[in-house]
Amino acid sequence: MRLSRYFLPVLKETPAEAQIASHRLMLRAGMIKQSSAGIYSWLPLGWKVLRRIERIVHEEQQRAGHHPMLMPTLQPADLWRESGRYDAYGPEMLRIRDRQDRDMLYGPTNEEMITDIFRSHVSSYRDLPLTLYHIQWKFRDEMRPRFGVMRGREFLMKDGYNFDLDEAAARHAYNRHLVTYLRTYERLGLQAIPMRADSGPIGGEDTHEFLVLAETGESEVFYDSEITDLRFGDRAIDYDDVAQCQGILEEFTSRYARTDETHDEAVFAQVPEDRRRSARGIEVGQIFYFGTKYSEPMGATVQGPDGKPVPVHMGSHGIGVSRLVGAIIEASHDENGIIWPEGVTPFHAGIVNLKQGDAATDSACEGIYRQLVDAGLEPLYDDRSERAGAKFATMDLIGLPWRITVGPRGLQSGKVELTSRRTGESEEVSPEAAVERVKGVYGVE
């Protein structure tokens, strides 16, 4: 993309309403614009990050054999009356009446709707196990929306639902989801720690929240410091292997790690004192096992191997996709702007032309641009007639991990500058070497 043709409305001033770094930086970098309290438009740069996260979520879910689908945003109230949640859910549920005076609602979650789909179409244990998921906009009418996309009202969420014949199979689905989430967050460049949590309005017997440590987190968390040394890494995983998934759950959840809702001082005291930590965390996902809480009242049964009907065991599993954009920024920024992890960066590299209009410089920039595009990468080329300082400031603000700076002086000795946004370190290299280095980072040829 050429910046002269792009829509990147960066702001010079820090918006007064933004209290935390991610909100401030998303507004300043031209990623979002508020349309009403807690509701945002995603401008082109923000949209690209959202899509990259979506794509990683899709890839990791499908790798585990979970099936993508899409449920609508508006739901009939009657479904929620069946589960008893229509009255139980508070004023955060946006209730709507359509022109025929039917009670509708803007879905805050989809347990009822997916259970309805299941009971309409599945009748035999032979069709299990089954996990369906979607990535769709949800609405929760927060009393005090704030912190930008971190606590918005209209938000994008991945929510998945497993259907299994018995508790053991559903426990495996739970573990499988935990593994997919560990992989997903690591690909996003985040460390998200699974912590024992409270089930809230979803209900259920067992649940873990995934928390990213950050000063601006809304939750107080307590954990054994050993947990932050754990990495999923690139180990091979067979999602049908019950013991392997169970082993990973144990590896990542056996140490003390709880939110304040489930924190137990007596148990925490058994952790060696030098490893006890308390901090703040941002919740970026949650997994639940809730057995037959929805399948029983809603009649979601299958015929078991013995011919008798059994209600299916279920769980639900959510990732806050739009909230993750904010969480990543909270975890990765400095005073000059955002620092995108390579996995989610909106553009793979920036190209800064120090002397627009100088034939040799323009030509070198075009060459680098073309080679990166031909390799399947998306560079952002600042081809505007701006001074160098303004171009650097924009690149730092929007946080592309790599910058290639091209100017007449360097070109005289056949060099351009390759700069890492994260370390700030620069190297003088040939244009070809800069392209090869960037391609190497992203594993393309």
Name which position in 80, 86, 106, 252 contacts its own copies (CB under 8 A): 106
Q: What is the DSSP string of 389-425?
A: HHHHHHHHHHT-SEEEEE-HHHHHTT-EEEEETTT--
Mapped to the 3 state alphabet, what secondary structure does 219-248 carry? EEEEEEHHHHHCCCCCCCCCCCCHHHHHHH
Q: Which residues 2-31 are close enough to bind its own copies by CB under 8 A?
A: 5-7, 9, 30
Name which position in 14, 59, 72, 408 contacts its own copies (CB under 8 A): 72
Q: Is 295 exposed, middle or buried (0-12, 13-18, 19+ CB in 10 A)?
A: buried
316, 184 in Cβ contact below 8 A?
A: no
Q: Which is nearer to its own copies, 78 or 198 (by Cβ)?
A: 78
In the complex, what is the shortest distance from the CB of residue 426 to its own copies, in angstroms, rounded to a whole number? 31
Name which position in 91, 247, 309, 376 contacts its own copies (CB under 8 A): 91
| CA–centroid distance for 76 within its chain | 28
Name which position in 19, 41, 303, 430 contacts its own copies (CB under 8 A): 41
In the complex, what is the shortest distance from the CB of residue 256 to its own copies, in angstroms, rounded to a whole number? 38
Tell me how many residues contact its own copies (CB under 8 A). Answer: 57
205 contributes a contact to its own copies by CB under 8 A: no
DSSP code of residue 201: G
Name which position in 116, 159, 330, 396 contacts its own copies (CB under 8 A): 116
d(CA 12, CA 363): 30
Q: How far is CA 402 from CA 29, 40, 434, in A?
A: 17, 28, 10
Helix (H, G, I), strand (E, B) or coil at 59: helix
In the complex, what is the shortest distance from the CB of residue 31 to its own copies, in angstroms, rounded to a whole number? 10
In the complex, what is the shortest distance from the CB of residue 42 to its own copies, in angstroms, rounded to a whole number? 4
Name which position in 14, 19, 35, 426 contacts its own copies (CB under 8 A): 35
In the complex, what is the shortest distance from the CB of residue 194 to its own copies, in angstroms, rounded to a whole number? 27
In the complex, what is the shortest distance from the CB of residue 299 to its own copies, in angstroms, rounded to a whole number? 16
What's the length of the chain? 445
What is the x/- site pattern for its own copies, positions 118-147, by CB under 8 A? --xxx----x--x-x-x--x-x-x-x----
Site of tokens 């091979």 = 236
- Which H helix or E strand runs over 133? strand 130-139
The span of 75-83, 172-180, 210-218, 436-444 binding its own copies (CB under 8 A) equals 75-83
39 contributes a contact to its own copies by CB under 8 A: yes
82 contributes a contact to its own copies by CB under 8 A: no
238, 248 in Cβ contact below 8 A?
A: no
Name which position in 20, 104, 230, 433 contacts its own copies (CB under 8 A): 104
76 contributes a contact to its own copies by CB under 8 A: yes
Name which position in 22, 61, 75, 184 contacts its own copies (CB under 8 A): 75
* Closest-CA residue to 168 (of 252, 61, 291): 291
Name which position in 20, 94, 230, 242 contacts its own copies (CB under 8 A): 94
d(CA 281, CA 331): 10
Helix (H, G, I), strand (E, B) or coil at 95: strand
Q: Which is nearer to its own copies, 3 or 190 (by Cβ)?
A: 3
Contacts of 74-79 with CB under 8 Å at 24 or more apart are 74/104, 74/105, 74/106, 74/107, 75/104, 75/105, 75/106, 75/107, 75/110, 75/112, 75/113, 76/102, 76/103, 76/104, 77/102, 77/103, 77/104, 77/105, 78/103, 79/112, 79/113, 79/116
- All residues at 6 or more sequence positions from 144 whose CB lies less than 8 Å from its CB, including other chains: none
Q: Which is nearer to its own copies, 142 or 224 (by Cβ)?
A: 142
245 contributes a contact to its own copies by CB under 8 A: no
Q: Which is nearer to its own copies, 21 or 79 (by Cβ)?
A: 79
242 contributes a contact to its own copies by CB under 8 A: no
Mapped to the 3 state alphabet, what secondary structure does 274-291 carry? HHEEEEEEEEEEEEEEEE
DSSP code of residue 3: G
387 contributes a contact to its own copies by CB under 8 A: no
In the complex, what is the shortest distance from the CB of residue 71 to its own copies, in angstroms, rounded to a whole number? 5
117 contributes a contact to its own copies by CB under 8 A: yes
Interface positions with its own copies (CB under 8 A): 5-7, 9, 30, 33, 35-37, 39-44, 46-48, 50, 65, 67-76, 79, 91-92, 94, 96, 98-100, 102, 104, 106, 113, 116-117, 120-122, 127, 130, 132, 134, 137, 139, 141, 143, 153-154
